[in-house]
């Protein structure tokens, strides 16, 4: 629940789109549809993405709106799981299996097809026993004022977040910079102009010169 207390490292967005009048009903369905689900047959290095509760990453059902909607603030966590096999251990197991195959079949070296087959079988077995690396990044959406904060600054996590947000809510997210926030405050803009910093943002396309 880092978004409710303590310092935040985040990116801020403007939500481009309309919030429907019956958003509570629609968003329950949308969040449940896009809630985190562990894959039945994960691939090595595969990332699995979905929503979870900010209160517990195992809570991926959103029927209880009191767990994710606080007045006009909507909150949830973006859960990203990734299963990664330990390289050295995997290699050691594979070499041992291939050596056993060679001994059983009287061969000095296993053919490429056998190596590929044994590698695939070992991946399936080890992935079934391997716990995923789990990351949860929380967000808060002010559905009245139309801004969103996401509790992570990495490009990869933010790409996942923006795509899943649009898929879930039908709303696009436009990044906001500190200068965008300054531009919304007339007193701050006036202060910058008095200090001789009037051209504080890049010109819009077509306004150059």
Return mean pLDDT, the chain: 87
Closest to 35 (Cα-Cα) out of 136, 149, 179:
136
Percent of the chain scoring above 90 in pLDDT:
71
CA angle 12, 14, 15 (to 5 degrees): 125
Q: What residue spans define the domains of the chain?
A: 2-83+133-194, 87-129
- Interval 94-130: pLDDT, tens: 999 999 999 999 999 999 999 999 999 999 899 888 8
**C-alpha torsion 204→175→69→5, nearest 10:** -130
Distant-in-sequence, close-in-space partners of 124: CB < 8 Å, separation ≥ 6: 41
Q: Output the pTM of the full model.
A: 0.76
């Amino acid at each position: 629940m880092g978004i409710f207390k303590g310092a935040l490292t985040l990116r801020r967005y403007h939500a481009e789109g309309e919030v429907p009048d019956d958003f509570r009903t629609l968003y329950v369905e949308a969040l449940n549809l896009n809630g985190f689900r562990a894959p039945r047959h994960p691939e090595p290095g595969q990332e699995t993405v979905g929503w979870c509760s900010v209160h517990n990453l195992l809570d991926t059902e959103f029927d209880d709106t009191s767990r994710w909607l606080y007045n006009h603030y909507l909150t949830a966590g973006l859960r990203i799981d990734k299963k990664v096999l330990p390289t050295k251990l995997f290699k050691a197991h594979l070499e041992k299996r291939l050596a056993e195959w060679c001994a059983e079949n009287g061969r000095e070296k296993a053919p490429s097809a056998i190596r590929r087959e044994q590698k695939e079988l070992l991946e399936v077995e080890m992935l079934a026993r391997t716990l995923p690396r789990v990351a949860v990044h929380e967000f808060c959406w002010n559905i009245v004022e139309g801004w969103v904060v996401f509790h992570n600054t990495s490009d990869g996590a933010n790409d996942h977040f923006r795509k899943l947000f649009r898929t879930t809510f039908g709303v696009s997210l436009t990044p906001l910079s500190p200068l965008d926030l300054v531009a919304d405050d007339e007193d701050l803009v006036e202060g910058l102009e008095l200090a001789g910093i009037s051209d504080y943002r890049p010109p819009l396309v077509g306004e150059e010169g």
